Amino acid sequence: MCKADRDRIERRWTYGLLLVWLAYSTAAFAGRSTEFAHEVVTNPDIQLMPAIFVSPSQ
């Protein structure tokens, strides 16, 4: 197996693992944010500061 083949296989593994990690972290973040939103909606004792909803660009 020549070096070009090894590099191609290595790159394919790297991109594959990166894609798996990205999908996992996105799903984990989406799960946490939906749990947080559900907690905010169902718990009247939580008082959110308005600064949470200000976008960083403003």
Helix boundaries (H) for 1-58: 3-42
C-alpha triplet 40, 46, 50: angle, nearest 5°: 85
By residue count, the chain amounts to: 58
Radius of gyration of the chain (CA): 21
10-residue stretch averages of pLDDT, the chain, 58 residues long: 85 89 81 70 61 55
- Please state, for a pLDDT cut of 90, what percent of the chain lies above it: 0
Q: Which residues contact 40 (CB under 8 A, 6 or more apart)?
A: 46, 48
Tell me, what's the pLDDT at 5?
86
Tell me, what's the pLDDT at 54?
55
